[in-house]
C-alpha cells in the first residue's frame, strides 16, 4: 500500500506560474511507468489535499496509524511518500504508535521533484516498494518503521535529516543502516528488529505538551524559567552539551530542580548528532543526575520528542514514564554495555565510514 502525504516528491514545476505545485498521485504515476514493471499489486491512499511536511502534526500521525490499521491485514507492506523536512519525526512517532509491527513501513521522498530530469524520486520510490514487499524465510525482511533515501535504509527512530542540498539527506549516526541498495539490496540482519511474537497494537493517543530547552553559553535565567514554566507543559527535552553536560550555576540547577518537584519530567539528550548522554561522567552533569534529570542516552531529538509525546499519551504514572524513557521500546536507544551496543560498535569500527 502506498500512502501519499505530499512533499517535494509530489511537486512539479508549473511553467505558467513559474513555481512548484503539488500534484496528484496519478501524475506521479505518469512520471514513473516503472511501477508496473515491478509486478506488484498496489493500492494508493492519497492525502486530500497533499500537504507540505512542514505542516505535519500529531493528528496526522494518528491518521496514518488509522489508515495502516484499516488495511494492515491486506498488504505485505506500506510505503509512505512524505516530505523530507519532518520525515524523521513521522518515522519516529509511527515506530512508537505501531507496537509489535510485523510488516515494513517505509517512508521515502526526494530532494528533487519527480518531474525534474535529475530527480532522485524514482529510485527512492521503486526501492522502497521492493523493500516493503520483500520477505525472507516467510517473514518481512524489515518488520519495522524505517526511512529509505539515497541507497540506504535506516531505522526510522534513529534517523536525522542533516542536509538540505545533497541527495543523501539523512544519516543515522548512532546506528548502522538496516540495508544498502546496490546491484542487489543487502540486508544487515543483525541490526534489524526480530519479528514480534505478539499481535500488533495500534496506539492513537499522543500528548504534545512537551517543551524544548536547548542550552547555549550565556543562556539567561529568564529564558530557562520561561521554558520550564510553559503552561500545560508536562515534560521538557533538555538539549545539553557533549555527553550530557550543562552549566553548574546554582540558579540553573535550582530552576531544573524546582520544575522536577512540580512533577515535570526533564529528559536529557545531547546536542551532538552522534554519541550518548552519560550522566555523572563529568562534574558538569553530576548535579543533573542528583536532582532527577532523566538520561535519553543516544536518542535523536526526533525520537526523544515523539517518544515523550507517546508515553505522556498513555495511562501511565510519572514514575512509569521515567522508567520507559530509559528503556529501548522500538530500538530507539542503546543502553551502555548491551550486546547490541557491541554489535553496533563492531560495525562502525570495520566500516569504511569509521
- The pLDDT of residue 350 is 46
Q: What is the mean pLDDT of residues 214-240?
A: 97
Which residue, chain included where needed, has cell 517473514? 139
pLDDT: which is higher, 172 or 121: 172
- Among 191-205, 243-257, 273-287, the range scoring the smallest mean pLDDT is 273-287
What is the spatial distance between Cα 317 and Cα 299, in angstroms, rounded to a whole number? 22
- The Cα 310–Cα 97 span in angstroms is 7
pTM: 0.92
> What pLDDT score does 338 carry?
52
Q: How far apart are CA 346 and CA 35, in angstroms?
A: 38
Instruction: Name the residues annotated as catalytic.
Output: 8
- The lowest-confidence range among 36-45, 269-278, 291-300, 339-348 is 339-348
C-alpha cell at 5: 502525504
Amino acid at each position: 500500500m502506498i500512502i501519499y502525504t505530499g512533499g517535494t516528491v509530489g511537486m512539479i514545476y508549473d511553467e505558467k506560474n513559474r513555481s512548484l505545485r503539488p500534484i496528484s498521485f496519478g501524475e506521479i504515476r505518469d512520471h514513473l511507468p516503472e511501477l508496473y514493471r515491478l509486478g506488484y499489486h498496489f493500492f494508493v491512499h492519497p492525502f486530500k489535499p497533499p500537504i507540505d511536511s512542514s505542516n505535519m502534526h500529531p493528528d496526522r500521525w494518528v491518521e496514518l496509524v488509522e489508515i495502516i490499521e484499516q488495511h494492515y491485514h491486506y498488504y505485505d507492506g506500506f510505503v509512505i511518500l512524505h516530505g523530507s523536512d519532518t520525515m524523521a519525526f513521522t518515522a519516529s512517532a509511527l515506530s512508537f504508535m505501531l507496537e509489535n509491527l510485523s510488516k515494513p513501513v517505509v517512508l521515502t521522498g526526494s530532494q528533487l521533484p519527480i518531474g525534474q530530469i535529475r530527480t532522485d524520486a524514482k529510485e527512492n520510490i521503486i526501492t522502497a516498494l521492493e523493500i516493503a514487499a520483500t520477505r525472507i524465510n516467510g517473514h518481512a525482511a524489515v518488520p519495522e518503521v524505517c526511512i529509505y533515501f539515497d541507497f540506504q535504509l535506516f531505522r526510522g527512530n534513529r534517523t536525522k535529516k542533516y542536509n538540505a542540498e545533497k541527495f543523501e539527506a539523512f544519516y543515522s549516526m548512532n546506528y548502522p543502516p538496516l540495508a544498502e541498495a546496490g546491484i542487489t539490496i543487502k540486508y544487515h540482519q543483525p541490526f534489524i528488529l526480530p519479528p514480534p511474537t505478539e499481535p500488533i497494537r495500534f496506539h492513537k493517543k499522543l500528548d504534545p505538551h512537551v517543551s524544548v530547552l536547548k542550552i547555549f553559553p550565556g543562556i539567561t535565567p529568564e529564558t530557562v524559567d520561561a521554558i520550564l514554566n510553559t503552561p500545560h507543559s508536562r515534560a521538557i527535552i533538555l538539549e545539553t552539551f557533549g555527553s550530557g553536560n550543562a552549566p553548574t550555576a546554582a540558579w540553573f540547577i535550582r530552576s531544573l530542580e524546582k520544575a522536577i518537584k512540580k512533577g515535570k519530567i526533564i529528559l536529557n539528550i545531547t546536542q551532538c548528532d552522534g554519541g550518548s548522554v552519560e550522566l555523572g561522567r563529568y562534574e558538569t552533569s553530576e548535579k543533573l543526575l542528583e536532582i532527577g534529570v532523566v538520561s535519553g542516552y543516544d536518542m535523536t531529538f526526533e525520537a526523544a520528542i515523539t517518544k515523550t509525546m507517546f508515553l505522556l499519551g498513555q495511562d501511565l504514572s510519572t514514575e512509569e514514564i521515567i522508567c520507559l524513557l530509559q528503556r529501548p521500546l522500538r530500538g530507539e536507544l542503546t543502553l551502555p554495555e548491551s550486546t547490541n551496543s557491541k554489535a553496533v560498535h563492531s560495525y562502525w569500527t570495520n566500516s569504511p565510514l569509521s
